[in-house]
Amino acid sequence: GIVRFYEWFETESQLFLAMELLHGGDLLQYILEHGCFREDTARRLFGEICKAVRYLHDRNIVHRDLKPENILLTSKVVDTMQPKLADFGLARKNMKTKDCKTFCGTPHYFAPEVIHTFRDRESGLPSGYGTQADMWSLGVILYIMLSGLPPFEEDGLYEQILEGKYEFDVREWTEVSPEAKELVRQLMTVDPKGRLTVQQALSHKWFTIANGPSSPAPDPMAQDAVKLAEAATRRPAPMQSVEDDISRVKRRRTMEDHGCALTPIRQDLFGAAGCSFSEDFEQVETIGLRLQ
C-alpha cells in the first residue's frame, strides 16, 4: 500500500528519487475525470488506504499530508486498481500523541489540532498533534471518495474545520449507506481523543456489511468536480487569517454559552500566501530551521 522506493542519485543542483511506476494517476484526478466511486469500490480502496496508514502508525510515523493527490493508483481500471501512498516529504518518525508541532499540510485536510498548533505556539501553551491528525485526513478523503466534493466550503474554511461543520444532506449522499456516514463522522471528530484510530476504523462495521446497490457516479464535469479541483489548488492561509478564524470560533462559543446566537462572518482565507508549502519548507530548511 506504499509506493516502492528504489534508489536515489544527485547532480550538483538536483536530487532525484527513483520509484516504482504506477499507471493509474492519482486518486484526485480519477475522481475529477470519472466522478465519485460506487460505495463497494470505495470500501475496497479505502480499506487498502487504511492498511497502509496502519503500517505507518504501527511504526510511529505520521504522514501529515494525506490527500487524494498523494494516493496513487496502480491502474485506471476501477475493478483492478490498487491505491498506494506517496509523498512522504512532511512525514515524521517516532512521533507520539502530541510530538508534532509544525503547522503544515494541505488546508482542506487539516485536522483541528493542526490549526490549534498555531494558536498554542503563540500563547506558549504546550500542545501538538500526532497520528490522529492523519485519521481526520482519512475522513476527508472518504467523504470525497463517496460524494465527489469536499466537505468544507472555501469561505471560512478553518472556522468550519475547528467546529466540525460538514453536511450529509446534499443529493450526493442520498444513496450512501448509514454505516459509511457513521464512519466519516467518527473519523472527522473534532476531539482527537474521540476520533477513531486506524485499527478501529478498519474494524468498523462498514467494512463487513454486504455490498448493496450503489448509485451511478455523477457527471465528473458537474459543479462538484469544480469545487474539488479548486480545493486541491488552494494555498495555505496567512498566519493572521488562522488566528482570526480561531478567535472568531472562540467568540462565538462564548456568546453561545451566554445564550446568544452569532451569524458567522465568512471570508476567503486563501490566496494571500506567496508560495506553496513545499516552497516554504525548502526556504525554512535552507536557513537551518528544523520542522517538528
Residue 127 amino acid letter:
S
Specify whether 65 is catalytic: yes
Phi, psi of 118 (to 5 degrees): -65, -50
Residue 151 amino acid letter:
P
**245 and 110 in contact (C-beta within 8 Å)?**
no
- With b for 16 or more beta-carbon neighbours within 10 A and e for fewer, the 90-107 pattern comes to bebeebeebebbbbbbbb
How many whole angstroms separate alpha carbon 220 and alpha carbon 35?
Answer: 4
H or E segment at 245? helix 239-257
How many whole angstroms separate alpha carbon 246 and alpha carbon 161?
Answer: 10
Q: Which residue has the cell 479505502?
A: 46
Phi, psi of 136 (to 5 degrees): -60, -45
Residue 206, helix vs strand vs coil:
helix
**186 and 195 in contact (C-beta within 8 Å)?**
yes
Query: To 5 degrees, how large is the angle CA 156–CA 237–CA 113?
Result: 75
Which residues lie below 8 Å from residue 254, measured CB to CB, with a gap of 6+? none
Tally Cβ neighbours within 10 Å of residue 177. 17
**Given 26, 40, 58, 65, the catalytic residue:** 65
Question: Known catalytic residues?
Answer: 65
